[in-house]
Homo-oligomer: A and B are copies of this chain.
Amino acid sequence: MAHMPGRSGPAIDGADEGGVYRQEDDYDRGMPYDPSAYPPFAVTVDLVVLTVRRHSLCALAVRRGESPFQGRWALPGGFVRPDEDLTQAAARELSEETGLRVHDPDVVPAQDNGAHLEQLATYGDPKRDPRMRVVSVAHLALAPDLPAPKAGGDANSARWAPVEELLRQDGYGRDGEQAAPLAFDHAQILADGVERARSKIEYSSLATAFCPTEFTVGELRRVYEAVWGVALDPRNFHRKVTGTPGFLVPTGGTTTRQGGRPAQLFRAGGATLLNPPMLRPEV
């Protein structure tokens, strides 16, 4: 392995030969945009919508009706309109696909049942869409469990599927559903979204976005277990989340919907940071 001294490598030397720190000469924001010099890009938003159903982490997938990737599953998404912000576009798509409203981030105690929505990453490989240059700004949405997509109308056009099923490159899903790879680069986007969710619930209160407005400590724990695919000690988990000031707010009510001894109901508190973080056990 060739070793390069700290501050005087060829890159810097080369830069000193005239290329460093110069203003770029083939682009300046002051120039009017010339479409013939820079062909237009299409800009879309794609959504990774995650929820926890039946103890497993699921994502919303829609079936493509058109070529390319006709008949294959894909992430929901669509064009950004000329007058809307990227976040607005993502919220609109989310609402169109699921009926979910988006949480107002200014309303700190999450009183409503809205979903969490955040920008994930942007994907712009020139070949990611075979027809044209499409740059997609992917967003991550976390939602509480919702009723299954209606079978009427355009049946089989949308479903919640376990993420490991959508990311599996061969084999078949639960209902014999063909588990062909997702369309475009959506497998990569989904994988990135799942990883973001997995790491973010470690140190934030984001897991509560998977729960209904009022939930028990055990329900919150099952969210962590489903997202991480691990088992957590119920006793220590209880101590951890109830012992963090501002993380959970008791509503006063109790429920026995999970059976057993009545459990206290909580709402998400104002604290968005979990410090020290929840420890994710090795798998």
What is A's interface to B at a CB cutoff of 8 Å? Answer: 1-7, 9, 11-12, 14-16, 18-24, 26-33, 35, 38-43, 62, 64-68, 70, 74, 76, 78-86, 93, 95-101, 109, 111-114, 119, 121-126, 129, 131-133, 135, 137, 144-147, 149-150, 153-154, 157-158, 184, 212-215
Contacts and interface: CB of A to CB of B under 8 A. Distances in A.
A113 B9 contact: yes
Contacts of A68: 29-30
A80 B135 CA distance: 11
24 contacts: A1-B109, A4-B213, A7-B146, A7-B147, A7-B212, A11-B99, A12-B99, A12-B100, A15-B99, A20-B97, A21-B98, A21-B149, A22-B96, A22-B153, A22-B158, A24-B93, A26-B78, A27-B79, A31-B66, A32-B131, A43-B135, A80-B124, A85-B126, A119-B122
Nearest to A149: B21
A138 B14 CA distance: 26
A33 B131 contact: yes
Given A3-B111, A42-B33, A99-B14, A22 B154 contact: yes
A155 to B, nearest CB: 10
